[in-house]
Amino acid sequence: MAVLEKYELEILQCLVESGVLFAVIGGAAIALHGSNRDRGDLDVLIRDTLENKELLLDAIAHKHRLKGDNRAAFLKEGGMWRQPKQGGFRGFDFAVNVPGMNATQVLPDAVAVDVGGFSIPVASVTDLIRNKQSMGLDAAPIDLADLTALKTIYEG
């Protein structure tokens, strides 16, 4: 089974082609680094600027109809867009900060991963480890399993 669904790859391709500054994070990033990781949605970390967020919304509008009226809240500093899971659609989160990660530190270190002949920026293993470690005692069992898998990838 492919790490990314066809529609997810299309969305990410639109973001790259439109010049959106982002990196894939979360379960998809862990899987793209080689871990056999099941995941729910697609998590994307983006640079928190009005221009970048507008580019993102315009790029996605060409391939996917966004549900809800979150545009105004998303465009504010610190705003995120959460598209819920629905039917065969996994959903996605466009965030500017997550525990242990922010775009300023993650985007410059993102690695290009070839997916279906297309280069997608993915958070580095080091940044993903920092994210999982930052959860501390609140970490869910899947986060602890992810941390173990990431350390194996890092050491390998």
Query: What was the pLDDT predicted at 64?
Result: 67
In CATH, the number for domain 6-135 is 3.30.460.40
Instruction: Please provide residue 123's backbone torsions phi and psi, each rounded to the nearest 5 degrees.
Output: -55, 145
Position 39 scores a pLDDT of 79
Note the pLDDT of residue 65: 66
pLDDT the model gives residue 69: 63
The four Cα atoms 154, 116, 53, 95 give a dihedral, to 10 degrees, of -40
The predicted pLDDT at position 1 comes to 55
pLDDT in tens, the chain (156 residues): 578 888 889 889 999 999 999 999 988 999 999 888 777 889 999 999 999 999 998 888 876 666 666 778 888 888 888 877 877 778 888 999 888 898 999 999 999 999 988 899 999 999 988 888 887 766 677 777 777 778 888 787
SS3 sequence, the chain? CCCCCHHHHHHHHHHHHHCCCEEEEHHHHHHHCCCCCCCCCEEEEECCCHHHHHHHHHHHHCCCCCCCCCHHHHHCCCCCEEECCECCECCEEEECEECCEEHHHHHHHCEEEEECCEEEEECCHHHHHHHHHCCHHHCCHHHHHHHHHHHHHHHC
Parse the chain into domains and list their residue ranges: 6-135
How far apart CA 49 and CA 37 sit, in angstroms, is 31
pLDDT at position 21 is: 97
